[in-house]
Structure 1
Amino acid sequence: MQKIKTALLSYGMSGKVFHAPFLEFHSGFELLGSWERSKKLIQQDYPNVISYATLEEVLESDAELIIVNTPVGTHFEYAKKVLLAGKHAVVEKAFTTTVAEAKELVALATEKGVKLAVFQNRRWDSDLKTVRQVLLDGVLGEIVEAEFHFDRYNPLLSPKQHKETANDGAGILKDLGPHLIDQALYLFGFPQAVYADIRTTRENSLVDDWIDILLYYPEFRVRLKASFFVRKANPAYTIHGKKGSFLKPRGDVQEDDLKLGKKPDLDTWGTESIEKEGLLHTEIDGKIVQGKIPTLQGSYYEFFDGVYNSIVNDKEEPVTGEDGLRVMQIIEAAIQSSAQKKAIDL
């Protein structure tokens, strides 16, 4: 099997938890190492890899694929350098800080003939995979409304400075917002208009930490919400159709398992507790049906497998640069909407 030589641009939480375990597990990747500015940690976990001292060392290495998993405000600068070096790139969310930056990266990848993917791993959460299957099954009838939540209770400011200082990449809109927005676009397509309310609710916070975004579709509406002041969680996904409803709590176990150091596999990985199963209440063949729906298995492996096939077999990226661009268009429209207190046509 052809191996893709791959390097990371940081080995903090994202590199250690979300990327390296899958690059090691997937037989199609060879992890070369990571750029590490101060702490040299990657060799503790992977003794045979390199800790690169500079970005230039990474760009001049044998790496064919580089994962841009640095703070959001650096994504455009670093991804552009990666693409100009003729290397494939995976860029974490938020893809960029502006639509103009996203457009430039997409055009540059096309010009250089390299692959550009956005790391939207939560398309492969057990929650969303199950919601998508319910929609594909058509058991809810014509959709009337959907509401997605990514809520937490965490009134304390993050110790990571780049997350709490006023900069173009900080704030919940560009942290949790891209997950919610990408999931909505993945399931329902691009909306006609956006209305948003963006707030700061934590004491001494300098960045937005509460969002309420309404996406307008011709026949239905999708609401996306995220907050740090939710002790009792709402369902992560609530979908109402003309025949019935589906409510699903957040239950994907992959992030928690990865943080515990568990290694991915293809058998039991991403299997959540039955207590987190979603509730379906609908009408099927003239009969009212109410009960729990088994949750599908989550698998971030599928994202990396998609990246592998995009490079080796010239398939479309699992999440394209254009997908990232569309998310940024929603984010910019949301910022404009909140400032002007009106819906923005897209």
Structure 2
Amino acid sequence: MTPRIATVLLGLSALLPFLSTAAPVRGEQALALGLPLACTPGEDCWVVRLSDRDPGPGFTDYRCGGLGSDGHDGTDFALPDPARMRAGVPVLAAAAGTVRAARDGMPDQPPTGQLAHDFGRLSCGNGVLLQHEGGWETQYCHLRQGSVRVRPGQAVAAGDALGLVGMSGEANFPHVHLGVRREGQTIDPFTGTPTTSPCGKAGTPLWEPELRAALDYVAVPIAIVGLAGYVPSHRDIVSGAAASVGPRPDTPLVGYVLAYGLKRGDRIGITVTGPDGTVVSRASFPVEEEAPRASRSAGRKAPPGGWPAGTYRVEASVERGDARWSKSRELTLTQ
């Protein structure tokens, strides 16, 4: 993951010190942002980390929640797993501008989520920095090695492809980190205000109006729900390997989930139901510590004679006090 993207791209200095004002920056020269990658939010990509609004140690997002980590200075749009990344998902210019800097050639981290390649100060990995009118900049980090297709000085239109989503730099899951700045000051695109301003105060988002509902706040994004024919490890779920070993009539039937933004005291539930609607298995797991990303799995061995043919459903949920988030998936078994 990218707890701090404080190093800009080749040939650029570090981020300028924050300015003292906390006033909204939306106005005549405001930046209107589109999606920074080709996906459908909530279906095949998720906002999994937001900008830090806490001036001291600790983290709070613009809604005074905990979707992120201390010092994180942008918005992370994640893909479900590295298999989707390998298929190729374009990183898009969120607004028209000029390429100020670009970097490529850094290796992607392994699909297992372990940081195996050294990135030094270049935590952004392969990336692109765009300059926009009115003193605005947008930065795109963790692009796939060899995919950057723009060069400094090149003009780009909103929606133009800059490269592909990857896992370069400090990235242990496939995503694009979008940083937004105006005259060196980090801006939260969900409020249009500097990240130095307090959380919980209303602002005008920089996102294009038609995007705002799709990017509505979700405290616990559930990215992956599936059924496997064995008990998958966290590594298998993260890498997408679990999705390639589906259940058969004679194998275990195991539901699994991968979710972001989990907090101590949350409870994860996994319920698998059979073709006739009866519960095949149900399990509940307490979350005992903060978990920016966590997985769980539960199920049953095949009964004598195997699982009957039909459609099976797995529902994964996360409960936090009175709040509940859930996602389900179906899979059909044939004899």
Higher relative strand content: 2
TM-score by length of 1: 0.27
The TM-score normalised by the length of structure 2 is 0.28
Structure that is richer in helix per residue? 1
Structure number with greater CO (CA < 8 Å, separation at least 6) is 1
